[in-house]
């Protein structure tokens, strides 16, 4: 009993001594300027290897991070999320600091919501669930195959989705598994299949974002991964893009139509261009030797247009293009969208698809007749501030 009491006392003392601050990563802030600003040793950054410096460059403006300070205002720990899976974790160790990457822990829950249209699907989903991101995902999934203006009052919507929760709050974007929307009583479906792409009930892909290959390459020198355990380094690693090994000076082409929103040096990525496309997508081109003449922030570029040349600026071992793809500010695997045309499932895959969607169609019928919607979301833990998510929708 005494032991428990002592533990509690120590716990209380340590709590009172340290304070936790939650802050937003400012626009233009880099990991290096962050260390400088907080008078932390800059070696923390310079001692990182190539892949880790790239990761440190992935910290997004608007992201929420946590700082634990002691009573003397000395930083004891910092936790900065990179995407939805990993975080940089800085821990004070005597006079030094150790930097590691730790997985962000979360729970996943599968939910179903059924809604009758009163105003608009977007507004009604928010009214029913208080889940802004779910409404956003829903609109994106259907926007190329359904004309929302034709919907009438009384049309219905069913959404099967997976939600992540962290410390009791919704965390990150929900993922739609299957959904149905009636347009004047006629049912339209989307199903997430084949690495999270959306297909209609005939097996035709409906979400229209297709990228061109950004460079002619010899080989892929590093694949995309959210999180993998490195058994020798004994820590988690991630690579939020694809590295294409290519000839120095080879032209880099815009993977899609869009507007250049960033051009310049970007930490471990060296000379970098970021392009914003429709539907909340962004592409990033790093380690460039140089930019094509005339490229600047605010310029609109066409799919296939040369924007720069392959090099090895930043932390890079040889000439290659690091190519990143982001949807709503979340890094996704470019392999899922780099292709020429919309895909239509055929042969065995098509057969498997129909078996797969049959169960969902049956469940949707059940959900239309007898449903109990999940309780409304009370609080969110947005990975990126709501403002920067809204920015990508416009
Ligand atoms: Zn890379």
Structure tokens at 173: 């974007």
Question: What's the average model confidence in pLDDT over 203-210?
Answer: 74
State in words which class domain 2-103 has.
Answer: alpha beta
Question: pLDDT of 133-191, one tens digit each?
Answer: 899 889 988 988 899 999 999 999 999 999 988 777 777 778 999 999 999 999 999 99
Asked if 107-207+343-393 and 219-336 have one fold, the answer is no
Question: What's the average model confidence in pLDDT over 347-354?
Answer: 90
pTM higher than the cut 0.75: no
For the chain, give percent helix, strand, coil, nearest 5.
25, 40, 35
285 alpha carbon – ligand 1 mean position (Å): 10
25 alpha carbon – ligand 1 mean position (Å): 22
The whole-number pLDDT of residue 274 equals: 97
Give strand ranges (E) for 209-299.
Answer: 219-222, 225-230, 235-239, 242-245, 251-253, 258-265, 271-276, 281-291
82 alpha carbon – ligand 1 mean position (Å): 15
321 alpha carbon – ligand 1 mean position (Å): 7
Residue ranges per domain, the chain?
A: 2-103, 107-207+343-393, 219-336
The whole-number pLDDT of residue 342 equals: 58
C-alpha span between 71 and 59 (Å, rounded): 28
42 alpha carbon – ligand 1 mean position (Å): 22
121 alpha carbon – ligand 1 mean position (Å): 39
Could you tell me the pLDDT band of residue 120, with boundaries at 50, 70 and 90? very high
CATH number 3.10.450.350 given to 107-207+343-393: yes
Averaged pLDDT of the chain:
85
Q: List the CATH code of the domain at 219-336.
A: 2.70.70.10
317 alpha carbon – ligand 1 mean position (Å): 11
Distances (CA, A) of 365 to 130, 157, 158, 357, 371: 24, 11, 9, 13, 10
58 alpha carbon – ligand 1 mean position (Å): 11
């Amino acid at each position: 009993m005494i032991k428990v009491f002592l533990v509690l006392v120590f716990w209380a003392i340590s709590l009172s001594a340290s304070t936790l601050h939650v802050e937003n990563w400012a626009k233009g802030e880099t990991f290096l300027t962050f260390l400088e600003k907080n008078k932390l040793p800059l070696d923390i950054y310079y001692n990182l290897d190539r892949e880790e410096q790239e990761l440190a460059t992935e910290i997004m403006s608007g992201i929420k991070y946590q700082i634990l300070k002691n009573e003397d205002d000395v930083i004891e720990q910092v936790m900065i999320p990179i995407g939805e899976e990993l975080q940089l974790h800085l821990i004070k160790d005597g006079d030094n600091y150790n930097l590691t990457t730790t997985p962000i822990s979360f729970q996943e829950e599968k939910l179903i919501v059924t809604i009758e249209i009163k105003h608009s699907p977007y507004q009604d989903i928010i009214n029913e669930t208080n889940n802004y991101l779910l409404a956003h995902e829903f609109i994106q999934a259907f926007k190329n195959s359904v004309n929302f203006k034709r919907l009438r009052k009384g049309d219905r919507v069913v959404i099967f989705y997976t939600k992540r929760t962290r410390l009791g709050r919704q965390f990150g974007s929900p993922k739609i598994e299957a959904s149905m929307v009636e347009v004047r009583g006629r049912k339209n479906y989307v199903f997430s299949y084949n690495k999270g792409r959306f297909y209609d009930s005939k097996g035709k892909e409906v979400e229209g974002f297709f990228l061109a290959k950004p460079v002619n390459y010899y080989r892929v020198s590093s694949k995309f991964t959210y999180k993998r355990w490195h058994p020798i380094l004994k820590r988690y690693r991630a690579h939020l893009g694809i590295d294409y090994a290519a000839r120095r000076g080879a032209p880099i082409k815009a993977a899609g139509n869009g507007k250049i929103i960033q051009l310049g040096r970007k930490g471990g990525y060296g000379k970098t261009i970021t392009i914003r496309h429709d539907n909340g997508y962004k592409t990033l081109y790093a380690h460039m030797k140089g930019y094509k003449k005339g490229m600047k922030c605010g310029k609109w570029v066409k799919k296939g247009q040369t924007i720069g040349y392959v090099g090895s600026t930043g932390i890079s071992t040889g000439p290659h293009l690091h190519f990143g793809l982001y949807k709503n500010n979340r890094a996704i695997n470019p392999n899922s969208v780099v292709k020429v045309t919309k895909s239509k499932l055929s042969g065995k895959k098509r057969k498997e698809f129909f078996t797969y969607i049959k169960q969902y169609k049956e469940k949707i019928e059940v959900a239309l007749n007898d449903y109990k919607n999940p309780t409304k979301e009370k609080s969110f833990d947005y990975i990126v501030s709501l403002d920067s998510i809204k920015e990508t929708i416009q």
